[in-house]
Amino acid sequence: MMKKVHIITYGCQMNEHDTEQMVGVLHTVGYKLTETLEEADLILLNTCSIREKAEHKLYSQLGKLRPLKQQRPDLILGVCGCVAQQEKEQIFKRAPYVDLVMGTNAIPKLPMLLESLDYLPRALELSEIEWEDESRNIFRECRFKAFITIIRGCNNFCSYCVVPYTRGREKSRPSAEIVAEARHLVEDGVLEITLLGQNVSSYRDSSYGASSFPRLLQALNAIEGLERIRFITAHPKDLTDELITTMAELPKVCEHFHLPIQAGSNHVLHLMNRKYSREWYLDRVHRLRAAMPGIAITTDIIVGFPGEREQDFQQTLSILEEVRYDSIFAFNYSIRPNAKAGDFPGQIPDEVKNTRLQQVLDLQKQINLEKNSELVGKTYEVLPEMINRRFPETLTGRTRTNHVVTFKGDESLLGRLVPVKITEAHPFRLTGQLIA
């Protein structure tokens, strides 16, 4: 009889893909996924450490799980991912009822760690392993979309960021292995792949030389049956003219670029150690739009960084107005372990951060609605991804530009590229009509 595992995932697409790998590995040793906490034999929290709030969510969730663990001492409770890599033994001290702590690079060791709990009171694994072919033993909930990790870690050491300390230095996966996995996925019915990495644009493979990421895109574009290629995230300093030209030339690369600016002021960008200027960034945006008219550009914004003056914040607002992003992810700055900015002078009070964040969100919501309104009456190719439970007989999917569209349609359309005419605009989604 198979045991059951429930996994709670926090954070980015990298964490989502790590969860897919954990479910696949666990399936090989007799576990199946359950959505119900109470019937799980194993509960794993796959954590994120980018924002302080995500870390608080972990310990809050552990507190909620404590009564369940007390009722069922045989329940195995584990913490995985970035907070596990960062906190290490501290998790056992703060939550002594946790059985397992596993870092970001130890997923293949998960079955061995569970087995060790038969004779050890708890298990801790933080070591790195060699990159394995992750196409094996992966559980993918969606049959026509898939993630492929191409690079792990980061070498940039932005002063606010914990990633180099939790995910390690950049390690690129062999390009031949990536292409082989993509071919295998297409044979299984996948239409769209998303290439993942903390910094995909710095991907390097000795077989492809210095321009490896553009050439990797070219190799993937040649796969018959693959319809869409996405990637996330790219660092602005690595956005070369070659990459822009390659994207424009390849029909399967979607017209969407997530280009994190973080702040609109050169003063703050320097403090952040971002290695580019506002002027360089705006030039990249101009070149992207010149090469790919209609491309959607999205970004990340951090407000309240140490030393952010009012004039710096106003420049962040002005970058929103100048670029007119299709959407943004915006956050208050929070101190992260090991990241240098925690020791910077000029820490901003929470009330100032909150006020500035709300101004950013309000301005972007207005821009979202204005930009989405420009799409009304136009027809776009949409890949329906799910049944929308809020509205009867309605599906939700994405355009090539990553806009979310809801439209009337039945389940048979899931995983099929269909034309949809946009009929209504909302700040965070579009409504459309299927074109027969």
CB 325 within 8 A of CB 298: yes
Residue list for the binding site for [4Fe-4S] cluster: 12, 48, 82, 154, 158, 161
Query: Can you spell out the DSSP letters for 382-393?
Result: EEEEEE-TTSTT
Residue 47: name the closest of 64, 35, 36, 61 by CA: 61
For the CA atoms of 373, 376, 381, 382, what is the dihedral angle to 10 degrees?
70
Q: What backbone phi and psi angles, to 5 degrees, belong to 411?
A: -60, -25
Instruction: Give the ranges where 76-199 is alpha helix by DSSP (H).
Output: 82-87, 90-94, 110-116, 163-166, 175-187
Of the candidates 9, 125, 5, 16, which has an alpha carbon nearest to the alpha carbon of residue 57? Answer: 9
By the 8 A CB rule, do 358 and 329 touch?
Answer: no
Please work out, in degrees rounded to the nearest 5, the angle formed at the alpha carbon of residue 97 by the alpha carbons of 91 and 100: 60
* Dihedrals phi, psi of 248, to nearest 5 degrees: -65, -30
Residue with tokens 């994405």: 398
State how beta strands 3-9 and 31-33 pair. Answer: parallel
> What is the H or E stretch that residue 422 is in?
strand 418-425
Q: Is 406 exposed, middle or buried (0-12, 13-18, 19+ CB in 10 A)?
A: buried
Residues annotated within a binding site: 12, 48, 82, 154, 158, 161
Single-letter residue type at 311:
Q
CA distance 254 to 193: 10
**Alpha carbons 61 and 389: distance in angstroms, whole number:** 26
